[in-house]
Each structure stands twice: as C-alpha cells, then as structure tokens.
C-alpha cells in the first residue's frame, strides 16, 4: 500500500503527526481497493478501522494512554503481533486448563453477552492504581486490606471495565474482561465520548458486535476464583473479515 484515504476527523489528525518512512501503522479493518489514478493499492479507513501507531513500540494516539498501557499487563499491544494460533472456544478452555502459564490465542467467535447499554457505572469503573481494586472517586484511601498503597492517598484510574461472553459452535467462554485501551479500540470511542452517546447509540454499538463474528485475541489464566477455573482477558477484538473466518473455520472443522 503506498497511499491511504482518510475521511474520519480523528484519523486525519492522527495522520498529520506521522513521520514519512518512520512511523509504522498497524491497520485493522480498512477497505483495500485499486486506484487507477495512482496505479497502486489504496487503503480507505472507515469508522470500523482500528489504527495502531508503531505497534511494537506502544506509541499511542493520546498521551494519557501511554502510562495506562505500560502499567496494564493486559494492554497487549506488543503481545498481539506475536499471537498467531487460532483456536475454537473449547480448544482454548482445554489447553488453558492443561498449562499453568497464560495461554494466548485467536478465536473467531460471536460475542454473546455484552452489557454496553446498562448503566454507565457498570461500563466505566474506577480502580485503585496500585492494586486494581474497585473504588469510588470520593474514597480517601483504598479499601483493599492487602493494597501496597493503603497508607497513601488514593490514586485512581478510570476506564472501560466490561465483562463479555463469547461463543462459537464448540462452547462459550464467560466473563472475559475487556478493559481500558483495548475496550476503547474495540468500541472506537473513548470513555468521554461514550458518556455522551444516547441510549440508542449505545444499543446500536452493542449490536454491531452481537451480530457479527469477531476476531478476538485472548489471554487466558488459571483462576480458582472463577466458576470455570479460567480468567480470560481480551487483548484485541474487531469484527472479523468473512473470508478469513471461512478459511480458519474450514481448518478447525477438519481437526474435529
């Protein structure tokens, strides 16, 4: 690709800050077409497109994200490029139970539970920056007895904090966390933008994901606290390309 067409205001602003031949862009869900005027392939960006700048270096669009991404071990942007193994939901569960290390994988599944249209307090939450315990802004100190910062004034981070279920023909993985920057990239909006959406807009955002098969990058850890014995963290989620789904599903079905 030698050239991109960018119509979205946020994307245009982003593109203006790029350095030619220096900045690397990771672009998911862009429309590719041949432009006869330029005699080359051209990428067109729309509202579904996710653009990550310099994915290996975790250089992100908004300065306030940098801290969050480096703090959050599930930020996942550097991890994502190295994840290539595709699994069914059942394979993910079986393999994750067999090993004590985290399992990383890709699954092409439907999101079967996504409570985006419940109250904002259930979608966006505030946690203690030190121990990630749920807190409220008005608290003076963290309520977690084991928090390393209990003696200090409470410092908090607020962000998307959702639990989603995803399902394919082999089963469902419940209550996977979709948080922070990964959630912003998935939804295509920041928490500030999300708060301004009407109920109808939030419902249609939710249905965009409920109706289509998604490509989900996931990290799964053993967790005795969870009913399933597993805790899933979504590292990236986009609506999947139907051609790509067909190719992988044919392969997975042959392995059954």
Using CA atoms, how far residue 152 sits from 4, 70, 128, 149, 256, in Å, is: 49, 22, 11, 5, 54
- Hey, which residues between 139 and 158 contact Zn ion (CB under 5 A)? 142, 144, 147
Contact pattern from residue 68 through residue 107 relative to Zn ion, giving x for each residue in contact according to CB under 5 A and a dash for the rest = ----------------------------------------
Give the Cα separation of 91 and 172 in Å (integer): 11
Least separation, in Å, of the C-beta of 72 and Zn ion? 15
Q: Which is nearer to Zn ion, 23 or 144 (CB)?
A: 144
Check if the beta carbon of residue 106 is closer than 8 Å to that of residue 86.
yes
Q: Which is nearer to Zn ion, 144 or 228 (CB)?
A: 144
* Phi, psi for residue 79 in degrees, rounded to 5: -70, -35
- Hey, which residues between 36 and 55 contact Zn ion (CB under 5 A)? none
Give the Cα separation of 28 and 142 in Å (integer): 39
| Binding range to Zn ion, per CB under 5 A, among 22-30, 101-109, 125-133, 191-199 | 125-133
Least separation, in Å, of the C-beta of 151 and Zn ion? 11
Give the Cα separation of 47 and 23 in Å (integer): 22
| Binding range to Zn ion, per CB under 5 A, among 42-50, 130-138, 200-208, 209-217 | 130-138
Q: Which is nearer to Zn ion, 130 or 202 (CB)?
A: 130
Least separation, in Å, of the C-beta of 39 and Zn ion? 58
| Cα 84 versus chain centre, distance | 16
Q: Which is nearer to Zn ion, 48 or 150 (CB)?
A: 150
Q: Which is nearer to Zn ion, 130 or 208 (CB)?
A: 130
- Give the start-end residues of each E strand in 49-129: 50-53, 103-114, 124-128
Q: Which is nearer to Zn ion, 129 or 174 (CB)?
A: 129
Q: Which is nearer to Zn ion, 19 or 146 (CB)?
A: 146
The secondary structure of the chain in percent helix, strand, coil, rounded to multiples of 5, reads 30, 35, 35
Q: Is residue 202 a contact point for Zn ion (CB under 5 A)?
A: no
| Cα 247 versus chain centre, distance | 23
Which pair of structure tokens corresponds to residue 251? Answer: 């392969």
Q: Is residue 129 a contact point for Zn ion (CB under 5 A)?
A: no
Least separation, in Å, of the C-beta of 155 and Zn ion? 9
Q: Is residue 133 a contact point for Zn ion (CB under 5 A)?
A: yes
Check if the beta carbon of residue 92 is closer than 8 Å to that of residue 218.
yes
Using CA atoms, how far residue 212 sits from 58, 110, 157, 168, 226, in Å, is: 28, 6, 31, 12, 27
Binding site for Zn ion (CB under 5 A): 128, 130-131, 133, 142, 144, 147
């Amino acid at each position: 690709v030698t050239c991109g067409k960018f119509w979205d205001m946020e994307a245009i602003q982003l593109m203006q800050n790029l350095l030619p031949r220096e900045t690397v862009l990771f672009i998911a869900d862009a429309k590719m077409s041949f432009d006869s005027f330029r005699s080359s392939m051209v990428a067109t960006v729309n509202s579904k497109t996710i653009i990550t700048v310099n994915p290996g270096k975790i250089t992100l669009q908004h300065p306030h994200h940098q801290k969050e991404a480096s703090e959050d071990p599930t930020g996942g942007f550097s991890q994502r490029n190295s994840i290539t193994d595709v699994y069914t939901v059942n394979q993910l569960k079986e393999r994750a139970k067999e090993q004590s290390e985290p399992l990383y994988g890709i699954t092409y599944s439907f999101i079967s539970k996504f409570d985006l249209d419940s109250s904002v307090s259930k979608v966006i939450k505030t946690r203690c920056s030190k121990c990630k315990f749920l807190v409220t802004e008005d608290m003076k100190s963290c309520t977690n007895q084991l928090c390393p910062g209990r003696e200090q004034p409470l410092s908090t981070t607020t962000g998307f904090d959702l639990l989603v279920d995803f399902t394919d023909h082999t089963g469902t993985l419940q209550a996977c966390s979709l948080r922070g920057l990964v959630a912003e990239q998935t939804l295509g909006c920041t928490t500030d933008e999300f708060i301004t959406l009407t109920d109808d807009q939030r419902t249609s955002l939710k249905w965009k994901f409920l109706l289509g098969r998604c490509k989900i990058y996931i990290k799964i850890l053993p967790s005795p606290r969870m009913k399933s014995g597993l805790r899933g963290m979504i590292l990236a989620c986009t609506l999947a390309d139907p051609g790509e789904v067909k190719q992988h599903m044919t392969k997975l079905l042959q392995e059954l």
